[in-house]
Amino acid sequence: MKAAIHQLQYWPGLRFFSKMRAADLFIYLDDVQFEKREFQNRNRIRNARGWQYLTAPVLSKGRFAQKINEVEMDNTAGWREEHLRAIKINYARAPFFREYLPGVEELYSRDYRLLADLAIATMDLLKDAFAIKTPVKFSSEFKVEEASSARLAGLCTAAGADEYLSGAGARAYLDPGVFSFAGIKLSWQEFKPREYKQAFPGFEPDMSALDLLLNCGPASMDYL
In angstroms, the CA 141 to CA 5 distance is: 13
In the predicted model, what is the mean pLDDT of the chain? 96
d(CA 121, CA 202): 30
Residues in the chain: 224
6 forms beta bridges with 28
Confidence of residue 61 (pLDDT cuts 50, 70, 90): confident
For 92-142, what is each residue's pLDDT tens digit? 999 999 999 999 999 999 999 999 999 999 999 999 999 999 999 999 999
Which pLDDT score, from 0 to 100, does residue 211 have? 98
pLDDT of 63 > 90? The answer is no
Q: Which pLDDT does position 21 carry in this prediction?
A: 97
The DSSP code for 30 is -
Report yes or no: 100 and 129 within 8 Å, Cβ to Cβ: yes
Comparing 172 with 85, which gets the higher pLDDT?
A: 85
What is the reported pTM? 0.95
Render pLDDT for 33-51 as a digit per residue (tens, 0 to 9): 999 889 999 999 999 999 9
Please give the pLDDT value at position 186: 97
Q: What mean pLDDT is predicted for residues 73-98?
A: 96
Query: What is the C-alpha end-to-end distance of the chain, expressed in Å?
Result: 21
Q: Count how many Cα atoms sit within 13 Å of the Cα of residue 10 in the half-sphere of its side chain.
A: 32
State the pLDDT confidence band at 52, using cuts at 50, 70 and 90: very high
- Burial string for 122-157 (b: 16+ CB within 10 Å, else e) reads bbebbbebbebebebbebbebebeeeebbbbbbbbb
Q: Which of 68, 36, 73 is nearest to 57 (CA)?
A: 73
Per-residue model confidence (pLDDT) at position 33 = 93
Position 81 scores a pLDDT of: 97
